[in-house]
Structure 1
Amino acid sequence: MKIVVTGGLGFIGSHTVVELQNEGFEVVAIDNLSNSSVDVLDGIEKITGKKPLFENIDLRDKPAVQNFFNKHKDIAGVIHFAASKAVGESVENPLLYYENNINALVYILQELTNLPQANFIFSSSCTVYGQAEKMPITENASVQPAMSPYGNTKQIGEEIIFDVANVTNLNSVLLRYFNPIGAHATAEIGELPLGVPQNLVPFITQTALGLRKELSVFGNDYPTPDGTCIRDYIHVVDVAKAHVVALQRLLKKQNQDKVEIFNLGTGKGSSVLEVIHAFEKISGQKLPYKIVDRRSGDVISAYASTDKANDVLGWKAELSLEDALTSAWKWEQKIRS
């Protein structure tokens, strides 16, 4: 079965391509290489023994999207990762986020719903919950006003999918994941941010290697036990495996509704300082860090209730925070050696 993975050379996309190929799927990866590298294809091939088909397409280019779907009419499903994803950058450049994250989604759905089967996995985010009123966050939690344009694009994206599924053959699973971190155990693929990292763990590993002078901790006056923000950090391989499980659910027509929503997390929150100290423990290195002002768009605390994903989807996170940090450190050391 041919599965399209947009953003397939990105962080989560590449790990999902690996898991799909391990399950025997034929994968076509789409990526415009704006935040990834074509070398990722070699890493995927080293892990799985097979290089996926690759198309360099900017999904904001509507004719290019149409041409792709005209060429690949035997698609069994699409897993859609391609999007800009940094909260801070979205506050500074909202129009980039609305163009990239909304237009690409619309163009894909226009083509996909013309096919005999329209199975669609959407890379959503816990940012749709805003600052949730209660922890852990369940899928029934009310969607709060978005704290950033990035979060808003995910809320709008979900609304578009519900509207389209109401009137077409679209069947979709929305996976709201919390904070994916780590790398493949082989250290052949991992998180490779271009420029200054926007996420905590690559900033930690780059600081540990001396590529960054020190780590900035954005605020220590939040109403949390140590004053720093709390997030649910989940190993990227666990996230990737969930996409395969969700896809198989749609292919086997086991979905109970045309659009289903699942949280992907560990169910445990860790503060920024806890992650720093956990890294110091696994690496044996002291990390230089300083407390700086809060960052616009950051919520105080977010961690998942995973009951629905465990019970209905049949998926559970298996790897620990320490596993994820160990793999991220191994990956960072490899790419800098």
Structure 2
Amino acid sequence: MSTSVLLTGGAGYIGSHTLLALHATGLKPVVLDDFSNSQPEVLRRLEELTGAPVAFEQGSVFDSDLVARMVDRHQIGAVIHFAGFKAVGESVADPLKYYRNNVGGLTSLLATLQGTACRSLVFSSSATVYGDPASVPITEDFPRQHTNPYGHTKLVGEDVLAAVAASDASWRFGVLRYFNPVGAHPSGRIGESPNGIPNNLMPFVSQVAVGRRPFLQVFGDDYPTPDGTGVRDYIHVCDLAEGHVAAVRHLLAGNPGFTVNLGTGKGSSVLDMVKSFEAASGKPVPYRIAPRRPGDVAECYADPASALALLGWQARLTLDDMCRDSWRWQEANPHGYGG
């Protein structure tokens, strides 16, 4: 059994934390990244944290020759496919960018892998495939739908994997439906460093707390939730990384493919996040209420029981842990990896 795991988009936010988790359990991560939404400084810090060089190639999943060479040279046993765009608002404004990269990148990767010995892949899916759920908590058998092009790319990606698996029994896919990854490595050396204006709540909150932005916009305070703001299932990125390790180990052990939610099973509102972050940082997080955003839903949190039953995985860290680690990262790196 090969213990080498190819991480497409491995220098990104979730990929970098997963690299550390894989390394800690004796698996051998290999990174492919084009730095379209990450920075080379990540790799230097990963080497500092692991005490070992990072096996890395700069390039795209669309470069079939490069991917095939990497799979062969490193004897890749499984792939974790992180590479993709993930901003809901941007996907509404520029859907073709998202379909080309998220759907096209996956199909290109699979076509390349078909010519190699590697038949195991863990796919970064998303809770957005549940659209606006009729109820919470959400189990994996809920109807799938979508409220924006980003969510649709993940839904289509899942369908592509199902069709490929049905066509050839040698393929095994682990589909991980993430809820809302936040936080940073407890070392404060790696974290979320978005290029430009953050699209997600936690980095925006932390940039307000550190003084980079004057206030937080809260999109809607009239949802049918306890305080009127949107409720989400925030999961610490280190817990999420451990979920990927569990998924890869499950596939490398020869088990069949699966689809599971990765979340905490607990919903927190935007204002819960603000309060927790103020407590963690000791800084005010001023906010202003803005209109609801198109595509947003009121409430979304997981039933994570399947991941525990199948993979032996469950989230351990709390919202306070997420805010504390995010603040440690933000305070030490006020401009992300740029300084």
Per the normalisation by structure 2, the TM-score is 0.95
Q: Is the contact between residue 147 and residue 297 of structure 1 (CA under 8 Å) also seen in structure 2?
A: yes
How many aligned positions are there? 332
- Determine the C-alpha separation between the residues in 2 that align with 1:305 and 1:180: 16
Give the corresponding residue for 1:245.
246
Amino acid of the residue matched to residue 246 of structure 1? A
CA change 1:67–1:116 in 2 (3 A) is: closer
Contact 2:232 2:269 in 1 (8 A): yes
2:315, 2:283 → 1: CA distance? 27
- How far residue 311 of structure 1 moved from its aligned partner, in angstroms, is 1.5
C-alpha deviation, 1:60, in angstroms: 3.3
Structure 1 match to 2:161: 161
Whichever residue aligns with residue 188 of structure 1, its letter is: R
With over 3 angstroms needed to count, the CA separation of the structure-2 counterparts of 1:29 and 1:73, relative to structure 1, is closer
Deviation at 1:64, TM superposition (A): 4.3
Q: Verify the 8 A CA contact 1:32 1:57 in the aligned structure 2.
A: yes
Give percent identity, aligned residues only: 46
Give the Å deviation of 1:39: 0.6
C-alpha contact (below 8 Å) 1:220/1:227 kept by paired residues:
yes
Work out the CA distance in 2 between the residues paired with 1:177 and 1:53. 26
1:31-72 deviation digits (Å, cap 9, x = unpaired): 110111011011111221112211111223445445544x53
Cα deviation, residue 117, structure 1: 3.8
In 1, the alpha carbon distance for the partners of 2:66 and 2:24 equals 29
The one of 278, 289, 310 equivalent to 1:312 is 310
Dislocated runs of 4+, deviation >6 Å: none
User: What's the secondary structure of 1:173's corresponding residue?
Assistant: strand
Q: Does 1:214 align with 2:215?
A: yes
Q: Cα offset for 1:27? A: 1.6
- After TM superposition, the structure 1 = structure 2 runs for residues 33-52 of structure 1, keeping only pairs within 5 Å, are 33-52=35-54
Kindly provide the amino acid, as one letter, of the partner of residue 21 in structure 2: E
CA contact 1:73–1:115 (8 Å) conserved in 2: no
Cα pair 1:128 1:143 within 8 Å, conserved: yes
Partner of 1:193: 194
**Alignment correspondent of 2:320:** 322
**Residues 143-193 of structure 1: CA deviation (Å, up to 9, x unaligned):** 02x111000000000000000011222101100010000000011110000
Match of 1:233 in 2: 234
CA contact (8 A) 2:219 2:290 kept: yes
Q: Distance in 2 between matches of 1:156 and 1:332?
A: 35
Matches of 1:53 and 1:215 in 2, distance apart? 38
Say which of 272, 282, 285 aligns to 1:284. 282
Unaligned runs of 5+ in 1: none
Match of 1:26, as an amino acid?
K
Residues 64 and 112, structure 2, Cα contact 8 Å, conserved in 1: no
Q: How far is the alpha carbon of 1:326 from its aligned partner?
A: 0.4
Partner of 1:334: 332
1:102 aligned counterpart, secondary structure: helix
- Tell me the equivalent position of 2:293: 295
2:85 aligned residue: 84
Report what 2:24 is aligned to: 22
Q: 1:252 to 1:28 in 2, by over 3 A?
A: same
Query: CA-to-partner distance for each residue in 1:238-291, whole Å, 9 max, x for gaps?
Result: 000010111101111133xxx310000000000101110111122222211100
Gaps of 5+ in 2: none
Structure 1 partner of 2:268 = 270
Report whether the alignment pairs 1:12 with 2:10.
Answer: no
Structure 1 residues 140 and 130, CA gap change in structure 2 (3 angstroms)? same
Secondary structure of 2:185's counterpart equals coil
CA contact (8 A) 2:229 2:271 kept: yes
Report the Cα distance in structure 2 between the residues aligned to 1:95 and 1:252, rounded to whole angstroms. 38
One-letter amino acid matched to 1:219: G
* C-alpha contact 2:280 2:327 (8 A) present in aligned 1: no
- The one-letter amino acid paired with 2:7 is V
State the AA in 2 paired with 1:35: N
**Post-superposition offset of 1:118:** 0.7
Q: Secondary structure at the match of 1:30?
A: strand
RMSD: 1.3
What is the distance in 1 between the residues matched to 2:312 and 2:291?
41
Letter in 1 for 2:277: F
Q: What do the CA deviations read for 1:105-140 (whole angstroms, capped 9, x no partner)?
A: 011111223333411000000000001111100001
Whether 1:223 and 2:221 are equivalent positions in the alignment is no
Q: Determine the C-alpha separation between the residues in 2 that align with 1:39 and 1:48.
A: 14
Aligned equivalent of 2:55: 53
Equivalents in 2 of 1:288, 1:37: separation in Å? 29
What's the TM-score, normalizing by structure 1?
0.95
**1:235 partner amino acid:** H
Provide the rounded CA distance (Å) in 1 between the counterparts of 2:65 and 2:307. Answer: 37
What corresponds to 2:259 in structure 1? 261
